[in-house]
Amino acid sequence: MAPSANFAGAADAGKPLVLLAQPLFPDLAAVLDGRFSFASAADADAGTAAEARVLLVPALVPVSADLVDRFPALELVVATSAGVDHIDLDACRRRGISVTNAGAAFAADSADYAVGLVVAVLRRVVAAEAYLRRGRWATDGDYPLATKVSGKRVGIVGLGRIGSLVARRLAAFGCVIAYNSRSAKASAPYVGIILPFGAGRGRTLRELAADSDVLVLCCALTEETRRVVDREVMEALGKDGVLVNVSRGGLVDEPELVRCLQEGVLGAAGLDVYENEPAVPPELFGMEDVVLSNHRAVITPESIRGVIDVVAANLDAFFSGRPLLSPLQL
């Protein structure tokens, strides 16, 4: 989703004003142009800054407290992402500013991708394909056997929209599902370890990891969850265990992840996200037991269309005085 070259026009008094944290990507611009008046948040003059009530944040552009405080009339921040760790939520909370995201638009695609990583890692699909492409099937015989997916014990960290869909999909494989979450999910037919991440977080995740063959990360990145998957959690998951992350790279102690994989403390990993994107630890590139992708879990033509729909709906709702479609609880 590359951004368009320019912001979509100068402020027009006849249309609702929306500040942009960066240029809109073309598909979103095509839908919103003509319905709203846009101005760059970085270049807003005093009059625009005093008037602006909405900030639209394409992609993962940081929204700091300083940026928020530049706009005294600001009432709403609209994110096009599922995660909002790039937005200073404390600053928004302090000012009474609402925040919306596009999580529901990405949930199914993220869940599909997470399951794909689980299958790819356990069945060693990527390594086996590389073996075949190098001509080794004909010269060296069959690639070594990989383990089955069905029946595995899967721990899911965060049973929200994405985590719930991952659980449902893997339950269909006959996997035994358990989860860690801030609160019990009364309708979920899975074993839950319920404690906030900030209180005994290591103990709860170690317990979940120790009882799992696969640990799938689906929770939000916050200061409480940053590097929540540490060496002790990886040791509990064990030498045959698999870590899959489709959420945020900052959930994992990345240097320890590399060491645990190198030392055989952790068996394998499927990673779509990294702590300092687009940088990826180079040690991971040569590991056949690691499947890597470049933060693609959420992106399909269908999810992009869903993001556009939810962003437009939130803007329309705000300016017409209706309830927001996807407000976060701050």
Report domain extents, the chain. 17-101+301-320, 106-292
Render pLDDT for 252-269 as a digit per residue (tens, 0 to 9). Answer: 999 999 999 999 999 999
Which residue of the set 129, 223, 277, 302 is catalytic?
277
86 assigned to active site: no
Q: Do the beta carbons of residue 26 and residue 45 sit within 8 Å?
A: no
Give the rounded percent of residues in the chain with a pLDDT score beyond 70: 91
* Predicted confidence band of residue 192 (pLDDT cuts 50, 70, 90): low
pLDDT for the residue 199:
43
pLDDT for the residue 120:
98
How far is the C-alpha of 14 from the C-alpha of 151, rounded, in Å? 60
Which residue of the set 248, 254, 256, 275 is catalytic?
248
Task: Work out the burial of residue 276: count CB atoms within 10 Å of its CB; fewer than 13 is exposed, 13-18 middle, 19 or more buried.
Answer: exposed
Tokens of 187: 């309708």
227 assigned to active site: no
Residue 101 dihedral angles phi and psi, to the nearest 5°: -130, -175
Does residue 322 have a pLDDT over 60? yes
Q: Do the beta carbons of residue 214 and residue 155 sit within 8 Å?
A: yes
Render pLDDT for 64-103 as a digit per residue (tens, 0 to 9). Answer: 999 999 999 999 999 999 999 999 999 999 999 999 999 8
pLDDT for the residue 13:
59
Residue that wins the pLDDT comparison between 110 and 190? 110
- Helices (H), ranges, 151-210: 161-171, 201-210
277 assigned to active site: yes
Do 17-101+301-320 and 106-292 share a fold?
yes
* Predicted confidence band of residue 14 (pLDDT cuts 50, 70, 90): confident
Assigned CATH for 106-292: 3.40.50.720
* Predicted confidence band of residue 221 (pLDDT cuts 50, 70, 90): very high
For domain 17-101+301-320, is the CATH number 3.30.300.30? no
